[in-house]
């Protein structure tokens, strides 16, 4: 995973709450077996509407999505994060993220920054009054800057550290393989195994 410390790019105001992962990427695109190439799938249904924000310049070149509360609800599909990244987004700001989406973002190096709704409203105003304004997301100081707005954001310490260091999760866990093996020796015998298969 690439290291993330700070990013500056055009902000995209998405004035909508409950943007679920079915909207971020509809199920029909989930048939693919690759991890990349999902840029065309991002917000596929909404992008058919010429008035949709990503169909307007300069927002189509945006890299920081500024969304309403409860972003990423619904399906666990990590394809939602892949699609945002493939399109060019580096960070999403929202006052509330669904837990699974937030987790998926952290694994993929997409920064999910929790910003108070009052600050989101201020940033929306800046971006709407001056389209093309850049947003800076600084993970070191946990601060977001846009025009004259400077606001703190929340992210859990562990995800922040992993993003800053660009660390691979599985590699980190496998450093503790002895602990895993030791735990396995204590598991009760009645816990089920899928193999050998027992059938009805």
Partner 1 sequence: MAKTLAEKVWDAHVVRKGDGEGANAQPDLLYIDLHLVHEVTSPQAFEGLRLAGRRLRRPDLTIATEDHNTPTLDIDKPIADLTSRTQIQTLRNNCEEFGVRLHSLGDAEQGIVHVVGPQLGLTQPGMTVVCGDSHTSTHGAFGALAMGIGTSEVEHVMATQTLSLKPFKTMAINVEGTLRPGVSAKDIILAVIAKIGTGGGQGYVLEYRGSAIRALSMEARMTICNMSIEAGARAGLVAPDQTTYDYMYGRPHAPQGAEWDAAVEYWNTLRSEDDATFDVEVDLDADTLEPFVTWGTNPGQGVSLSSNVPSPEDFGDENAKAAAERALQYMGLEAGTPMKEIRVDTVFLGSCTNSRMEDLRAAADIIRGRIKDPKIRMLVVPGSARVRLEAEAEGLDKVFKDFGAEWRFAGCSMCLGMNPDQLEPGERCASTSNRNFEGRQGKGGRTHLVSPVVAAATAVRGTLSSPSDLDPAPESAAVRIDAA
Footprint of partner 1 (CB under 8 A): 15-18, 20, 22-23, 26-28, 30-35, 45, 68-70, 73-79, 81, 96-100, 103-104, 107-108, 117, 156-158, 160-161, 169-170, 172-174, 176-177, 179-180, 183-184, 187-195, 197-200
* Closest CB 11 distance from partner 1, rounded Å: 19
Return the number of the residue (22 or 134) whose C-beta is nearest partner 1.
22
Return the number of the residue (5 or 117) whose C-beta is nearest partner 1.
117
Structure tokens at 96: 């509330």
For the chain, give the number of residues: 200
Return the number of the residue (10 or 162) whose C-beta is nearest partner 1.
162
Question: Across-strand partners of 10?
Answer: 134
* Cα gap 9→193, rounded to integer Å: 50
With residue 120 as reference, give the H or E element that holds it: helix 117-129
Structure tokens at 25: 């990427």
Return the number of the residue (57 or 194) whose C-beta is nearest partner 1.
194
* Cα gap 125→61, rounded to integer Å: 19
Which three-class secondary structure state does DSSP give residue 106? Answer: helix
* Closest CB 33 distance from partner 1, rounded Å: 4
* Closest CB 98 distance from partner 1, rounded Å: 6
Return the number of the residue (13 or 103) whose C-beta is nearest partner 1.
103
* Closest CB 151 distance from partner 1, rounded Å: 18
**What are the CA-CA distances from residue 119 to residues 67, 68, 79, 114, 151 (Å)?**
11, 11, 28, 10, 7
* Closest CB 6 distance from partner 1, rounded Å: 17
Strands 149-152 and 143-146: antiparallel
């Amino acid at each position: 995973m690439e290291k993330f410390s700070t990013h500056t790019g055009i902000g995209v105001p998405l004035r909508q709450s409950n943007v679920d992962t079915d909207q971020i990427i509809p199920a029909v695109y989930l048939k693919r077996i690759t991890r990349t190439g999902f840029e065309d799938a991002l917000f596929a249904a909404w992008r058919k509407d010429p008035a949709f924000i990503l169909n307007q310049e300069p927002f189509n070149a945006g890299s920081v999505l500024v969304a309403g509360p409860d972003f990423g609800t619904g399906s666990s599909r990590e394809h939602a994060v892949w699609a945002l990244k493939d399109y060019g987004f580096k960070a999403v700001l929202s006052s509330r993220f669904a837990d699974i989406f937030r987790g998926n973002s952290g694994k993929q190096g997409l920064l999910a920054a929790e910003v108070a709704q009052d600050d989101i409203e201020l940033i929306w105003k800046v971006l709407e009054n001056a389209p093309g304004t850049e947003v800076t997301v600084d993970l070191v100081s946990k601060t977001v800057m846009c025009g004259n707005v400077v606001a703190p954001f929340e992210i859990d310490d562990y995800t922040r550290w992993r993003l800053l260091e660009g660390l691979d999760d599985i590699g980190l866990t496998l450093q503790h393989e002895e602990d895993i093996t030791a735990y396995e020796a204590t598991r009760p015998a009645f816990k089920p195994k899928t193999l050998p298969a027992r059938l009805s």
